[in-house]
Structure 1
């Protein structure tokens, strides 16, 4: 069966990081996740595989968001959104995709969204592809997206809950506040969990 070499790199920061450009560079805080999902039998062509990949990334997005106590990549606020920038080599005998996930406080407005646009322009320069359009995420007035540092299921933002989250023992990624929440999420989480091959943390 054909499989995909998928590398997902999640960027963010923590409260100890300097609030200037020193937080970036080779040692920038991040986690690198290698996954090897298998293409379904009906995904034979490049177009079909890209369509399947879009759905797969949407299904594992929660796992990539709720795996650490992420602060915004560009400031000291708690991260609430993730923005994905992807590069792919589906035409190769062994298809390969790299995903760069930016944990941010606000991907739509403000200075951190401008930093995202600069990151998108840099990806465009490196790949020769047009810059990706940043999504305009819909939300109700006054509504906030869940903190990345909260439980992947109940999103409890209380300090007591967030300080006691436990990672899935198998994939060492997705975090939960209780066994009940982990069990409730297993039907969804297992697709990601079973395809994770390696996790490398850069969290000094």
Structure 2
């Protein structure tokens, strides 16, 4: 792991995590603007990389249901996410720092998605001097159960019903974390037991190129 100093938002007594999500690039006035989100978290101090990554994976539901995301590689409605994780060592601390690159995609089984993720992995590996290692085989990610349809990104984080993703105005954003959205008070109460864990650790949420 490379050693880096603490940034302004980071805490020396916490495990600092930054999640950067990427959606479809929208062409406006001949300039492509990629829709992104940056989520910064303060997790409890932990040195176990596997536990840190598990905690982050459990939070991806909140990020997935933050906006009406479109597939980064084709613009179709996104239903899945794929992540690349990169650990840093923080100077003067034995606590690692994690940066997660999260890609919103329509279907991991689609050829264009796999080709896009493979190309992205290659570019990132070049940037980080090969630290990520070779791209894992897609078979290692597990096969989607037959007939299984994942919820639409941008639908209610509680009930995850398809019709809640149709109109952006239907959903209400969590007043505390400013990220996760639900379709009403009933879903907010029902989902709070799950969401409150992530909600309490979120430091900031920044959406880019959403107008």
- What TM-score do the two structures reach when normalised by structure 2? 0.81
* Corresponding position of 2:204: 198
Shift of 1:91: 6.0
Q: What's 1:75 paired with? A: 74
The equivalent of 2:40 in structure 1 is 34
- Measured on the aligned residues, the alpha-carbon RMSD in Å equals 2.4
Question: Shift in Å at residue 109 of structure 1?
Answer: 2.7
Counterpart contact for 2:105–2:113, Cα < 8 Å: yes
Higher mean C-alpha displacement, 118-127 vs 74-83 = 118-127
Contact between 1:107 and 1:116, CA under 8 Å: does it hold in 2? no
The structure that is strand-richer by fraction is 2
CA distance in 2, matches of 1:6, 1:143: 31
Where do 4+ consecutive residues of structure 1 move more than 6 Å?
none
Uncovered stretches (5+) of structure 1, i.e. residues with no partner: none
Q: Match for residue 106 of structure 2?
A: 105
Aligned residue pairs total: 191
Q: Which residue of 1 aligns with 2:185?
A: 179
- Measured in 2, the distance between the counterparts of 1:56 and 1:73 equals 24
Counterpart position of 1:63: 62
Q: 1:165 to 1:137 in 2, by over 3 A?
A: farther
* 2:22/2:104 contact within 8 Å kept: yes
Paired position in structure 1 for 2:149:
144
Aligned to 1:158: 163
Stretches of structure 2 lacking an aligned partner (at least 5 in a row): 1-11
Confirm whether residue 10 of structure 1 aligns to residue 21 of structure 2.
Answer: yes
- Give the conservation status (yes or no) of the 8 Å contact 1:162–1:177: no
1:162 Cα deviation after fit: 4.3
| CA-CA distance at 1:22 after TM superposition | 5.2
For the 8 Å contact 2:107–2:113, the answer to whether it is kept is yes
Question: CA–CA distance in 2 between the matches of 1:95 and 1:160?
Answer: 36
8 Å contact from structure 1 (residues 151, 162) kept in 2: no
3-state SS, counterpart of residue 89 of structure 1: strand
Question: Bigger CA drift: 185-194 or 159-168?
Answer: 159-168
Q: Which moved more, 1:103-112 or 1:159-168?
A: 159-168
